[in-house]
């Protein structure tokens, strides 16, 4: 089947199998490998994207469900050749190690700051609770979100 999705502000079309996930379509048909596939079960958050502004695990959404909708991936967060402030904060605070979790965490943190510009630690913890990181111990990720909120 053919689908049309507004991805990162651009109308994109893809020929997909009806059972394909949005994550697979983004990575394999639309040339957007930023969203990572670490579990494909909705457990890790590495595939987090915004679907009509709502944070979702792209591995749990069918690409067909996104037909006619808007998707923002980590590639589309920044603008005019600039990183999003959350991305800059992750770099500045050293919140990236292997980087596998980073795209999902960046999208989740950006979504949090859209809703709550100055979140408490509990609100950060709650917002990022669906995103697993095996490397950092989360302290620097929290620093990054606090830094981005302060900017």
Window 86 to 105, contacts with ligand FES (CB under 6 A): 96-101
Number of residues this chain uses to bind ligand FES (CB under 6 A): 22
Report the alpha-carbon distance of residue 40 to residue 60 in Å, rounded: 7
65 contacts ligand FES (rule: CB under 6 A) = no
Q: Is 133 in the site for ligand FES (CB under 6 A)?
A: yes
Q: Between 19 and 81, name the residue whose CB sits nearer to ligand FES.
A: 19
Angle at 139 between CA 74 and CA 129, to 5 degrees: 60
Task: Rule CB under 6 A: say whether 116 interacts with ligand FES.
Answer: no
Among 8, 46, 73, 87, binds ligand FES (CB under 6 A): 46
> Taking a C-beta distance cutoff of 8 angstroms, is the pair 58, 112 a contact?
no
Which residue carries 């394909």 as its tokens? Answer: 20
The C-alpha atoms of residue 56 and residue 102 are separated, in whole angstroms, by 15
Task: Give whichever of 117 and 139 is closer to ligand FES, judged by the CB atom.
Answer: 139
Q: Does 137 bind ligand FES (CB under 6 A)?
A: no
- Nearest by Cα to 78 from 3, 148, 23, 150: 148
- What is the binding site for ligand FES (CB under 6 A)? 37-40, 42-47, 57, 59, 96-101, 133-136
């Amino acid at each position: 089947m053919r689908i049309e999705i507004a991805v990162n502000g651009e109308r994109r079309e893809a020929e997909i199998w009806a059972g394909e996930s949005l994550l697979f379509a983004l990575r394999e048909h639309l040339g957007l490998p930023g969203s990572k596939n670490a579990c494909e079960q909705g457990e890790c958050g590495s595939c987090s994207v915004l679907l009509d502004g709502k944070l979702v695990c792209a591995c749990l959404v069918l690409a067909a469900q996104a037909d006619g909708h808007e998707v923002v991936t980590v590639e589309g967060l920044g603008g005019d050749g600039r990183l999003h402030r959350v991305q800059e904060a992750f770099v500045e605070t050293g919140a990236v190690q292997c980087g596998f979790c980073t795209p999902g965490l960046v999208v989740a943190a950006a979504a949090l700051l859209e809703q709550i510009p100055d979140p408490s630690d509990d609100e950060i913890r709650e917002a990022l609770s669906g995103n697993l990181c095996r490397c950092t111990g989360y302290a620097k990720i929290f620093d990054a979100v606090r830094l981005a909120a302060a900017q």
